[in-house]
Amino acid sequence: MVAKDRCKLSIATLSELTKIINESKLYIFDDGSDELELLNFYKKLIGNDSRVNIFLADENNGVEYANINRLEYFNVKDDLYVYLTDNDVEFSSQFEDILNNTYHLLKNTPDVFAATFFNVTPNGCHDIIGQGFTYGNLKYVCKRSFGGISVLLKVSDFVNAMKHYNSLDYNGNFGWDWALCHYGTKVLGKRLIATYESYIQHTGSIGVNSKIDKFDCADNFVK
């Protein structure tokens, strides 16, 4: 499957899945795509779903710029939680239930900063720490860190984490997702959690941070 088809499938699936969430909105930040087929797909999506908001960059500004700036359009007061994802993922058939369960977990567990549905430990990174726990019959584990491919957290926390990333207070690993983890654990002293199984799968083998023989891929993906 070519990249634009993967992108269309991921977005269309997420659009359908999030319709069940009351007052939800879908924000798509496209980093300079110029393929007519993809742009027409966006137009059709907007026409069929008033919840969808699409922002098209005039040129490719790179993953760091796109991720750090994508929430400047959000009303922090109204949009309380946000699910961040990429365009090269496959969603589990159970994703709707997992998203809903984890949303309630975050609302009711103040010491948890953010959650991911992609539980991998590439190259010794993102280790599981501590014992697992169950919430709503779903098992979770605590993580030292995780990547930004599938993250649920408060909008205000994401905005503040990106301010931290751009400040003189942060002097750690390059990457907005590393800074997000640092802000949550080291600055706020909260936990990062992951579902025990993975409920999204990374399908993009070629990209800024991926190579055909070296990219994050879950061996515990629940279809």
Residue 133 belongs to domain spanning: 3-202
Tokens for 49? 């779903």
Residues forming beta bridges with residue 54, ordered by sequence position: 28
Q: Is the pTM of this model over 0.85?
A: no
Say if 223 falls within a structural domain.
no
- Distance, C-alpha 172 to centroid of its chain: 21
Residue type at 53?
N
Say if 217 falls within a structural domain.
no
Say if 39 falls within a structural domain.
yes
pLDDT, residue 16, reads 74
pLDDT at residue 189 tops 70: yes
Say if 218 falls within a structural domain.
no
**Residue 183 half-sphere exposure, CB side, CA atoms within 13 Å?**
24
Say if 211 falls within a structural domain.
no
Q: What is the domain-level CATH number for residue 78?
A: 3.90.550.10
Q: For the sheet with 128-135, list strands across it.
A: 81-85, 150-154, 112-116, 191-195, 138-143, 128-135
**More reliable by pLDDT, 88 or 132:** 132
Percent of the chain with pLDDT over 90: 37
Say if 221 falls within a structural domain.
no
Q: DSSP letters along 34-90, please?
A: --HHHHHHHHHHHHH-TTEEEEE-SS---HHHHHHHTTTTS-TTT--EEEEE-SSEE
Residue type at 179?
A
- Domain count for the chain, please give it: 1
Q: What is the pLDDT of residues 95-131, one digit of tens each?
A: 989 999 999 999 999 999 999 999 987 766 888 997 8
Q: Sorting pLDDT into bands at 50, 70 and 90, what band is 63?
A: confident
